[in-house]
Amino acid sequence: MRDESSSPTVKKKRVPFKACAPEAQQVMLVADFNDWSDTARPLKKDAKGVWKTTVTLAPGRYAYRFLIDGEWVNDPNCDEEVPNDYGSHNCIKVVA
């Protein structure tokens, strides 16, 4: 039996996400960490048209995409993508 009391505590980190979409009316972060909910994580637009949010995540690999005015969009700043079941790709965010 594993003794959880001696396990190190997992340190979660605040992870920023941003999308440049100055003309957009709505941008959502849709990811495996929010069960791919298209309403769970809205981003907020700044004065320059950059949409931002921050999520607190444990270390690991997370798949995500943006939903911009109803259209699926990948993060152009993402370093890694993996194929998904819909014929496109998901972005991967690695939290160390």
pLDDT score of 9: 80
pLDDT score of 6: 45
Domain map (residue ranges) of the chain: 10-95
Q: What are the angstrom distances between the C-alpha of 68 and each of 10, 58, 60, 74?
A: 33, 26, 25, 10
pLDDT score of 86: 94
pLDDT score of 3: 37
Torsion of CA 96, 65, 23, 48, to 10 degrees: 0
Tell whether domain 10-95 is in CATH 3.90.400.10: no
- For the stretch 38-94, pLDDT in tens is 999 999 999 999 999 999 999 999 999 999 999 999 999 999 999 999 999 999 999
- Pick the closest to residue 26 from 58, 70, 65 (CA basis): 70
Cβ 29 vs Cβ 37: under 8 Å: no
Cα 70 to the chain's mean position, in Å?
16
